[in-house]
Amino acid sequence: MSFQTPASVPPKRNLLVPHKRSLLPVNSLHKQTTLNPSATPAEIQFRRPVFSSVGEDAEKKRQEDDAQEQDQTGISQRTGGEEVVRIEFDSSQAPQPFLEPDVLERIRERQRQREKEALQNTASRGTTDAPGAGLDTEREIRRRAVQTEYGRMAVRGRMAVGMIIQLRHLYRLQLPLTRFPLIVAYSTKTASKMPPRKRKSPDSSHTEASSSAKRTNTSTSNGQLQQQNSQENDINAPHHGAQQAEDFGIVLREFYPPEMSNARCEAYNNGTLPRPIEVLNRAYEETENARKAISPQNAVVHWFKTDLRLKDNRSLKVAYETAKQNDIPLICLYILSPQDLTAHLRSPARVDFVLRNLEGLKKGLAELDIPLYMETQEVRRNVPGRVVELCEQWGASNLFANIEYEVDELRREAKLVKLCCDKGISFEAVHDTCVVTPGALESQQGRQYAVYTPWYRSWMTYLHGHPKNLDVVDAPGQNAGKARTHFKDLFDSEIPDAPENKRLGEEEKQRFSKLYPAGEDEAMSRLDSFLETKATDYGKMRSMVSGQHTSILSPYFAAGVLSARVAVAKAKDANGGYLDGKNAGLASWISEVAWRDFYRHVLVHWPFICMNKCFKPEYTNVEWEYDTDLFNLWTQGKTGFPIVDAAMRQIKHDAWIHNRNRMIVSSFLSKDLMLDWRRGERYFMEQLIDGDFASNHGGWGFGSSTGVDPQPYFRVFNPLLQSEKFDPDGEFIRQWVPELREIKDRKAIHDPYGRGAGAVAQKAGYPKPIVNHAESRDRALKRYKEGIARDKP
């Protein structure tokens, strides 16, 4: 493995040029102690990935991939024939994605092309702000056309011509000519009576579940529907279901606009609206020269967000090296914004976990003479301004942070780049959280993958080709400069209090501290112990819900206490240097950690999923139920489906549940109860200690069949079969549903009322099933089918 040494080393201040290939002044950094001193220092590339539009081809590709039905937990295993890649560490490595120049150039070229096309589209439509701007796909044009009389005539004309062509074909096949006039008459009649697309009224046959939903579902007249349709072509108008989404607590209007139309999602896909990552890239491009001209002053700042660790923290490492090079102190910063916590649905358990980790972080940094300054900023809009203010106060002209890929965060960072630049501060956002940086992988057609299996193959190939991506950077060393003298007060900074709406009770605090002790050392020892004792059986056991067969490292990944790189690198080591193949359990675990990357890649490319839409926007047209009583039964674990109830009770108690159970309960909410799955998505975020937008949304997309991976809507989880398969003895159910503990029969426990244990269950106060699974399934299939068809021309 060899790495190019830069042909020419740029001047020292060229340390951080983010969006063009640029170089760290490697010479000055080589003196670091390296874990592998023999490793050749690599060329450092700062690059921000550029994304290409996907459009309709992706849909086609997705449908093709749908053929390979894939269980989210069951990726196909490839074995043998893999090159063994040795991990090399070099602490002088820049914390950046490592992309081949030709890949980079290809991506850039597509970006230029895309921008050109977007510009042309805009010019031909007048202004992007005009209603309907961006609706240039054939489908949208056809949809609009049928709204006018001329359009309808044209469509009917086309249908008639199509029919004649088909009939000519039939004629050639020697179908009896007598049928010809009949068919023409039928088709003409049908075409002339073609009704406007209609939203079906609630299914009256399913009275049990939909009674109160009927009260909330608005009935719509044809006129209203036409208005809805034209509204939905307007990228600035809300979706027709926006009010319901707001009333049901899905869209938090305190912070966000009403749910957007599906056309607006399409505008992100076709480049009419820029993706937030593109906005950030542009901010970097526009400020490049100005930032380059900035030289370090009195201090360097690293801003901690969801990267609460010292080891393998790329932004922290560059910040430290910059400070050290210039012999000035490094200051660390953490800002808690209660508004952000509410807007981003952070659970009290996760807030508490973050605060506990800050304690350890503060201590660890202080041992290195690095202060960690922490404060609370109530209003989230003020955070960027406050960061700039603090940098000015400290005389810091270099600010670093790892990139968070959620929409609000990318937009905030884009704003901050400019804000900083205006004040003579260079702000550098670093790719860190993924093993492979979003945007680095693309299909042969140059598109972002929407299906896990081909994406995973590409992820694996990429890592084989770029083993340095698994290089782990070490923790910072002793602080340079005189931090203890110049910034003495900052060492006394207190851990912020949890805001009132995120505060835990004393018993809960103790419970979570026991279940998930804070700190990098804890994360590392959990990882080591899992790799030593459980990982080799992971492939076979990972879906079993009783006992512990998974790592339970998700809280540590979510808060950034453990880096995914470290986890994968260590698992690879444990697997004798293999990333895939060899031990099926270890390879399978690596592939699960890859899911985390996958969902982040998806988020960056389809940012509207972070705005209360789903990957397949047409699925927001499905007629959901908005029944609060049903929703509450689900959250309380009182649905009468033992496996569902056990899982929902565990989530309340542990703020964590097993992946299999997450799939079961999400499918149950969206398909058996037909409740709008986004409310479940929110509930999970507000409960889970590992609540992480990309993974949670991805999981819910899978459970409700509205997401990226092919889990077709007609594959409905049967809670009873799932229960029997993954909790065969009912141990998990007995643990969490005390009412059923007396049922010793391993069959009856899964369905007490249906298998002869009803009397015991009833006596103990366990409810009967609130829905009939077979009926619910039929209703779901019908609703999904109708909803998806609604948008079709």
Catalytic annotation, residues? 592, 595, 624, 659, 677, 700
| 394 labelled ligand-binding | no
Please identify the residue of the shown chain whose CB is closest to the bound ligand FAD: 699
DSSP string, 603-667: HHHSGGGGTT--SSGGGGGS--B--HHHHHHHHHT-SS-HHHHHHHHHHHHHS---HHHHHHHHH
CB of 175 to ligand FAD, least distance (A): 51
CB of 694 to ligand FAD, least distance (A): 8
Question: HSE on the CB side for 195, CA within 13 Å?
Answer: 9
Q: Is 552 annotated as a binding residue?
A: yes
Residue 46 marked in a binding site = no
Q: Which residues of 600-612 are buried (b: 16+ CB within 10 A; e: fewer)?
A: bbbbbbbbbbbbb
* Under 8 Å between Cβ of 383 and 420: no
Quote the least distance from Cβ 658 to ligand FAD, whole Å: 6
- The least distance separating ligand FAD from the CB of residue 403, rounded to whole angstroms, comes to 18
Among 104, 707, 57, 709, CA closest to 445 = 57
User: How far is it, in rounded angstroms, from Cα 432 to Cα 314?
Assistant: 6
Taking residue 139's Cβ as centre, other Cβ atoms within 10 Å add up to 13
Measured from the CB atom, is 560 or 698 closer to ligand FAD?
A: 698
Q: Is 766 annotated as a binding residue?
A: no
Containing 304, the helix (H) or strand (E) segment is strand 299-304
| CA 168/CA 162 separation, integer angstroms | 10
Among candidates 600, 567, 301, 279, which has minimal Cα distance to 431? 600
d(CA 371, CA 49): 33
Cα 20 to Cα 25, 105, 114, 533, 650: the distances in Å are 15, 11, 19, 44, 48
Closer CB to ligand FAD, 308 or 374, in the complex = 308
- Min separation Cβ 56 and ligand FAD, Å: 27
Residue 647 CA to residue 651 CA, distance in Å, equals 6
Give the CB-side neighbour count of residue 379, counting CA atoms within 13 A: 4
Cβ 340 to ligand FAD shortest distance, Å = 17
Hey, what are 17's tokens?
């040029």
Count helices and strands (H / E) in the chain. Answer: 34, 5
Phi, psi of 333 (to 5 degrees): -135, 140
Please tell me whether residue 521 adopts helix, strand or coil conformation.
Answer: helix
- 554 assigned ligand-binding residue: yes
Closest CA to 148 of 222, 262, 226: 226
**CA count, 13 A, side-chain hemisphere, 780:** 29
Which residues, in sequence order, are CB contacts of 348 under 8 Å at separation 6+? 498, 502, 503, 504, 508
Complex with ligand FAD: residue 46 or 595, whichever CB lies closer: 595
| Rounded Cα gap, residues 278 and 611, in angstroms | 17
At its nearest, how many Å lie between ligand FAD and the CB of residue 717? 11
Q: What is the DSSP string of 346-395?
A: --HHHHHHHHHHHHHHHHHHHHTT--EEEEE-SSGGGHHHHHHHHHHHHT
Chain centroid to Cα 33, Å, comes to: 36
Sort 177 into a burial class: Cβ within 10 Å, 0-12 / 13-18 / 19+: exposed
CB of 435 to ligand FAD, least distance (A): 11
Residue type, 473: V
Nearer to ligand FAD, 467 or 691 (CB): 691
**610-611-612-613 Cα dihedral, nearest 10 degrees:** -80
Do residues 68 and 710 lie in contact, with contact meaning Cβ atoms separated by under 8 Å?
yes
**Shortest approach of ligand FAD to residue 656 CB, angstroms?**
7
Could you list the residues that contact ligand FAD (CB under 6 A)?
A: 72, 542, 550-554, 557-558, 592-593, 595-596, 599, 658-659, 662-663, 666, 684, 688, 690-692, 695-696, 698-700, 702-703
Q: Give Cβ neighbours of residue 698 (< 8 Å, ≥ 6 apart).
A: 595, 598, 599, 602, 707, 708, 709
Separation of alpha carbons 681 and 467, rounded Å: 35
Please tell me whether 692 is known to bind a ligand: yes
> Residue 394 or 726: which CB sits closer to ligand FAD?
726
Residue nearer to ligand FAD on the CB measure, 249 or 424: 249
Smallest separation, CB 534 to ligand FAD (Å): 9
Is 99 annotated in a binding site? The answer is no
Between CA 400 and CA 288 the distance in angstroms is 15
Q: Is 538 annotated as a binding residue?
A: yes
H/E run at residue 333: strand 330-336
State which residue, 417 or 568, has the beta carbon closest to ligand FAD. Answer: 568
Least distance (Å) from ligand FAD to the CB of residue 562?
Answer: 9
d(CA 711, CA 701): 9
Tokens of 207: 């009275």
- Which residues partner with 426 through β-bridges? 398
Q: Which is nearer to ligand FAD, 328 or 694 (CB)?
A: 694
Minimum gap (Å) between residue 41 Cβ and ligand FAD: 31
Residue burial 427-440, b: 16+ Cβ < 10 Å; e: rest? bbbbbbbbbbbbbb
Q: Is 690 annotated as a binding residue?
A: yes
**Annotated binding-site members:** 538, 550-554, 589, 592-599, 690-692
**Annotated binding-site members for FAD:** 538, 550-554, 589, 592-599, 690-692
